[in-house]
Amino acid sequence: MTGLIHLKNVSKIYQVGEVEVTALKHINLEIKKGEFIAILGKSGSGKSTMLNSVGCLDTPTKGTIHLDEFDIEELHESELATIRGKKIGFIFQAFNLIPSLTALENVMLPMIFQGTERTKRLKRATELLTSVGLKDRMYHRPSQLSGGQQQRVAIARALANDPEVILADEPTGNLDSNTEKDIIKMLQDLHKRGKTIIMITHNEKLAQIAERVVHLKDGEIVNENYF
């Protein structure tokens, strides 16, 4: 496997009034193409900042972040947004679906930003929603869907541009145990199909479905386990 995302000596410091808060401290992490990695930590450990870092959503205060051959600090935001949109699909705990759009329209949205023509957007979104078991819910809005169905829409949306990387932030946090099992299986199936999966979680049991678990505490990597 080849390296896909590299964090080299990354620190992130936020200014809160007159106080400096160090969210990440000297993080060195390489995520390989095709890997399934979990980043595990309690509340306040720096997970959210790590999410923004590995997802190339934020630039570090110190150190460098590379996505493939690109140093994200050297890219204009529009260039980074385009590259990120093609390479990374995001799945969030709160689903982050647009309430006024149908499931089909939510899945089509990322393809609009990549300039995909409407006929192809419609075909791709229909296929994805069918693949996650929502063929009969495509024209429903988020408020008309259960939590598990909304997360399935979010997964379909994450796959819209066929990204190499799926970044899942507490993907089962708002779901019941049966639905959680379904979402876990979907993530495992995506990994088997060659996708790189990066999962952010506080759940130790959930983290063990990954090949590698990176333990985060007080903004530092304190341990790694391989399964």
pLDDT for residue 227 is more than 90:
no
pLDDT digits (tens, 9 = 90+) for 118-148: 999 999 999 999 999 999 999 999 999 999 9
Question: What is the residue extent of each domain of the chain?
Answer: 34-62+70-226
CATH class of the domain comprising 34-62+70-226: alpha beta
Residue 62: partners with Cβ closer than 8 Å, 6 or more residues away: 9, 10, 11, 13
pLDDT digits (tens, 9 = 90+) for 8-42: 999 999 999 999 999 999 999 999 999 999 999 99
Across the chain, mean pLDDT equals 95
What pLDDT was estimated at residue 20? 94
